[in-house]
Amino acid sequence: MARKVFYISDGTAITAEIFGHAVLSQFSLDFESLTIPFVENIEKAHAVKKQIDDCFITTGERPLVFHSIVKADIRDIIYSSEGLDYDFLNTFVAPLEQQLGVKASPVQHRTHGMANAGYESRINAINFAMENDDGQTMKHMDNADIILVGVSRCGKTPSSLYLSMQFGIKAANYPFTEDDMDNLRLPEALKRNKHKLFGLTIDPARLHEIRQSRMENSRYSSMRQCRIEVKEVEMLYRKERIPFIDTSNHSVEEIAAKIIDKAGLKRHMF
């Protein structure tokens, strides 16, 4: 039976989830998780405590409880439950207070709320990524931080959105299609911004698999077409000296991290 895990916060619970998932990913076990955000008052805290206690009674196992709660009175109620507590916020805050010689001043919703200094720039980056997806328009390429290029279904759109949502990076993307293959070259807007271009490529067999699930048994998804497109695009990258990575066996998180590293982009944390 899967071990029960609670992610609890008086804010969005994103911090608790990120830390908790990172830790639990090291264990080859099954976990059944429940995320409870915005536990902002005593009444809600007692309701959550009851859920944790009921889980212990039902399973006979103390559930794992990852939390990042700012208010001490609410935190104490969670501490009093039958869960095994892992308090990320205070585990690090107290030692840092000693090292920095400054008392922390915790504020609810500071990390992922609108009060975060970079909130507006992140929203602007997300809007930019959506407006400049898949070559819909070439008018704003000059304003991009990076322009991802590659064949259809190699991971351009999810990578662009992830870069904008997680790091506030204005990422546009442009597809090279079947019609481009006879005379593959960079459009003028891309030539002008060549220093911003970053290529994505993919193993033809993996591309065939992805396209088959979208348009089965079509010319677009055929193994032959996938091979031709990947070959032509990689030749263009080398000819134009465009840096590129293979997305075949990487998650969108890994792809984004590699792009930032290779392109020398600045991460904006929210």
Per residue in 239-253, pLDDT (tens digit) is 999 999 999 999 999
Query: How many CA atoms lie less than 13 Å away from 13 in the CB half-sphere?
Result: 18
State percent of the chain over pLDDT 70. Answer: 94
Q: Which CATH class is domain 3-100?
A: alpha beta
Q: How confident is the model at residue 116 (pLDDT cuts 50, 70, 90)?
A: low
The predicted model gives 26-55 an average pLDDT of 95
> Do the domains at 3-100 and 119-263 have one common CATH topology?
yes
Q: 229: left (phi > 0), else alpha (psi -120 to 50), else beta?
A: alpha
Instruction: Return the bridge partners of 165, or none.
Output: none
- Cβ atoms of residues 40 and 108 within 8 Å: yes
The predicted model gives 67-88 an average pLDDT of 92
Which helix (H) or strand (E) segment holds residue 67: the answer is strand 64-68
Cα Rg, the chain, nearest whole Å: 24
Which helix (H) or strand (E) segment holds residue 146: the answer is strand 146-151
Q: 101: left (phi > 0), else alpha (psi -120 to 50), else beta?
A: left
The predicted model gives 23-52 an average pLDDT of 95
Q: What's this model's pTM, rounded to 2 decimal places? A: 0.72
Q: How confident is the model at residue 89 (pLDDT cuts 50, 70, 90)?
A: confident
> What is the domain partition of the chain in residue ranges?
3-100, 119-263
Q: Is 39 helix (H, G, I), strand (E, B) or coil?
A: coil
Architecture of domain 119-263: 3-Layer(aba) Sandwich (3.40)
Q: How confident is the model at residue 108 (pLDDT cuts 50, 70, 90)?
A: low
**pLDDT of 169 over the 90 cut:** yes
